[in-house]
A = this chain, B = another copy of it.
Amino acid sequence: MFFSRQVERAVREHRMFTHGDKILAALSGGKDSLALFRELAHQGYDVTGLHVDLGIKDFSVKARMIVEKFCQDLGAGLIVISLAESGLAIPRVKAAVKRPICSVCGKIKRYWFNKTALDKGYTVLATGHNLDDEAGRLLANALRWDTAYLSDQGPTLPAEAGFAAKVKPLYRLSEFETASYCFLRGVEYHMDACPYAKGAGFTFRKQLMQSLEQKSPGSKIGFYEGFLHKARPAFLALEQKNHEKLLPCLECGYPTSAGTCGVCRLKRTLAGQAKFNEYS
């Protein structure tokens, strides 16, 4: 089947993992992450789910229920991290920070993905990013010529001090293809859009890529693969010169260039505000 072959090809060409690896797969409850998990399980990989409960009321309750039922039906292991428990429920974070919430939420999720993989001894972390995600993000990075991001972007990131190895086995498959996979395999997924993501810029960039794809089919994968083979080496060479040295966060050990990492600083900010509210 086309879907399985594209995953096999991505895994093989980028040496993402083998059947000896302990894979932790991030599960949001959306079509991409569930399709990824089901496919890896069916290909016989040792894969465990990780769900980060964002604490966004009904939206997160529903997401968690879908993920729990999915893993139960499949007889698969699942780890759930509740952001509310560590005081970082997204609505609370959104009220406290001025930056766009999508980028802060992404940062918090990546923090827990990485921490869980390292703490629990998984050898690789897999996420459900698809071709539309990747090509849209590449377009955004190229439109800004953000050479640091451009030097980093790809379907794999090797493990290094404080960071788990990360892979994106669906990077060759479009949103439409992961949705079709779920439909054909009877996978029930979370269809609601996050209530905070409305009008996010990346949707617009995805639409641009989509109109290119309609005009010349193959544009998206050509743009992304062409980047990996031809342009990324140039950005890697450029960035090796200005590579920032990362050290463990003074509070949690997560690699950071700032003494205390972003998530610990966020926790401190929120704790300070809570104290302020208590006394006022």
Contacts and interface: CB of A to CB of B under 8 A. Distances in A.
Contacts of A95: none
Contacts of A146: 230
Given A237-B237, A237-B238, A238-B237, A145 B212 contact: no
A147 interface: yes
A230 B145 contact: yes
A235 B227 CA distance: 12
Interface stretch (A13-21, A124-132, A218-226): A218-226
Contacts of A233: 238
A208 B212 contact: yes
Contacts of A238: 233-234, 237
Contacts of A212: 143, 208
Contacts of A229: 145
Given A142-B142, A237-B237, A237-B238, A147 B231 contact: yes
Q: Is the interface of A mostly helix, strand, loop or mixed?
A: helix
Contact of A231 (B145, B204, B211, B219): B145
B226 A144 contact: yes
Copy total for this chain = 2
A243 interface: no
A143 B231 contact: no
Name the interface size band of chain A.
20 to 34
Nearest to A216: B201
Contacts of A147: 230-231, 234
Contacts of A219: 143
A229 B233 CA distance: 18
A144 B222 contact: yes
B204 A215 contact: yes
A28 B155 CA distance: 46
Contacts of A142: 142
Interface in A140-158: 142-147, 150
Nearest to A226: B145
18 contacts: A142-B142, A143-B212, A143-B219, A144-B222, A144-B223, A145-B226, A145-B227, A145-B230, A145-B231, A146-B230, A147-B234, A208-B211, A208-B212, A231-B235, A233-B238, A234-B235, A234-B237, A237-B237
What 10 A-B pairs come out closest when comparing CB atoms?
A: A145-B226, A234-B234, A234-B238, A145-B230, A145-B231, A143-B223, A142-B142, A147-B230, A145-B227, A234-B235
Given A145-B227, A146-B230, A204-B215, 11 more contacts: A143-B212, A144-B222, A145-B229, A145-B230, A147-B230, A150-B231, A208-B208, A234-B234, A234-B235, A234-B238, A237-B238
